Amino acid sequence: MTTWEHMLLVSDITGMLKPNVNKVWEQKGKDGKADWDRIQQLGKEGWELVDAFPIATGNGASIQIVWALKRPTH
């Protein structure tokens, strides 16, 4: 039976005037990497993206995107 390791990657989009998924790929974190770069690297390490969903405030504005990933354990 396959067992899985799971991970959540969170993209903060609160600083965007009008949140736009295209900007998520461009927005760089404190380490200078964009979330797209992180997701690409995780894919090379065997992680598979299985879901993505927004986290919203009470007024419906999205403030974060959560990326759910998994990979088989060895």
Q: Is the pLDDT confidence value at 7 over 90? A: yes
Minimum mean pLDDT range among 17-21, 37-41, 62-66 = 17-21
- Range list of H helices, the chain: 21-26, 35-44
β 62-72/4-12 pair status? antiparallel
Q: Is the pLDDT confidence value at 8 over 90? A: yes
Residue/partner pairs of 30-35 with CB below 8 Å, 24 or more apart: 35/9, 35/11, 35/67
**What residue spans define the domains of the chain?**
1-18+50-74
23-57 per-position pLDDT tens digit: 667 777 788 888 888 899 999 999 999 999 988 87
Note if the pTM is more than 0.95.
no
Which segments of the chain are extended strands (E)?
Answer: 4-12, 48-56, 62-72
- pLDDT of res. 17: 54
